[in-house]
Structure 1
Amino acid sequence: MYAVIKTGGKQYKVAAGEKIKVEQIAADVGQEIVIDQVLAVGNGAELKVGTPLVSGASVKATIVAHGRHDKVRIFKMRRRKHYQKHGGHRQNYTELEISAVNG
């Protein structure tokens, strides 16, 4: 059984036992959370799609860790104008382990 969930403005296809990295969630490590924004639930050839959410469906997950992604380097330059600008960005994430898909 799998589900398509929405968290942090993005959509993820998840199944029980998987680990995923999502946008940072304000919760402690080891805490169990319930994600109720489920867009679709599938089981083999059967697929239940919500409009926009599947009523009564939820996904249980445990927070494994918090961290930061690799640095994204930003370099801006205008040729022949003596303009160069360097920057970088590291996005925070929360690693989740999916324990159950209820749908």
Structure 2
Amino acid sequence: MYAVFVSGGKQYRVTKNQIIRLEKLNNPLGTTIEFDKILMISHKDCIKIGTPFIKGSIIKAHIQNHGRLKKIKIIKFNRRKHYKKQQGHRQNFTDVKIIDINNIIGEI
């Protein structure tokens, strides 16, 4: 069984007990969160697709870690024009473990 949901403007395909890295969520470590914007659920041969979301379905996840990725360097440079601009960026992330994928409406 797997599901596709939306978080932080991105879509993620998850299965039960999978650990995924999301955009930073403002919840403390150790809390359980629920995602209700589920686009699709697949179970064996049956697929249920929402329009745009499946009403009544929930994905439960446990927050395991917060952190920041490696720094990326942004360099803009024009040769012979005396132009050089440097910038760095570190993206915040949250690691979550998918506990359960519930389809409250009924089994597919």
Q: Specify the TM-score bucket, using the shorter chain as the normaliser.
A: over 0.9
Aligned residue number for residue 46 of structure 2: 46
Question: What is the percent sequence identity of the aligned residues?
Answer: 43
Q: Secondary structure at the match of 1:55?
A: coil
Q: Cα deviation per residue 1:58-100 (whole Å; 9 max; x = unaligned)? A: 1000000100111111000012101111111001011000000
Q: Cα deviation per residue 1:6-63 (whole Å; 9 max; x = unaligned)? A: 0000000011100001011110100001111101000122110000001111100000
Aligned residue number for residue 106 of structure 2: none
Aligned residue number for residue 29 of structure 1: 29
Aligned residue number for residue 61 of structure 1: 61
Query: TM-score, with normalisation over the residues of structure 2?
Result: 0.92
Aligned residues: 103
Separation of aligned partners in 1, 2:91 and 2:20? 15
Query: TM-score, with normalisation over the residues of structure 1?
Result: 0.96
Structure 1, unaligned runs of 5 or more: none
Structure 2, unaligned runs of 5 or more: 104-108
Separation of aligned partners in 1, 2:82 and 2:36? 52
Aligned residue number for residue 97 of structure 1: 97
Task: Read off the aligned partner of 2:99 and give its amino acid letter.
Answer: S
Q: CA RMSD in A?
A: 0.7
